[in-house]
Amino acid sequence: MQVPLSYAEDIIGVAGSNIAYIRRTSRAILSIQESRGLPDEITVEIKGTGAQVQMAQQLIQVVFFNNETG
């Protein structure tokens, strides 16, 4: 999943709190890496069952929505 670099801090959270919440809630395995060739984006790799991946993606989308609205 490609995510704008500007959201990296929001997804990770203070001391990793947000990403820990996403991992705990979805039970998916998440890793964040720099995107090769895309300096303004990061790659969030999500592994797990279909339901786990979908839940993690939904939780990440909540971060986008909250960041966009305020």
pLDDT digits (tens, 9 = 90+) for 1-58: 888 888 888 889 999 999 999 999 999 999 999 888 788 999 999 999 999 999 999 9
- Residue 69 has what pLDDT? 55
**Domain spans of the chain, in order of start:** 2-69
> What is the second-level CATH architecture of the domain 2-69?
2-Layer Sandwich (3.30)
Q: What is the pLDDT of residue 57?
A: 95
CA 23, CA 14: separation in Å to the nearest integer?
A: 15
pLDDT given for residue 62 in this prediction: 84
pTM above 0.85, yes or no: no
CA angle 12, 18, 22 (to 5 degrees): 110
pLDDT beyond 90 at 64: no
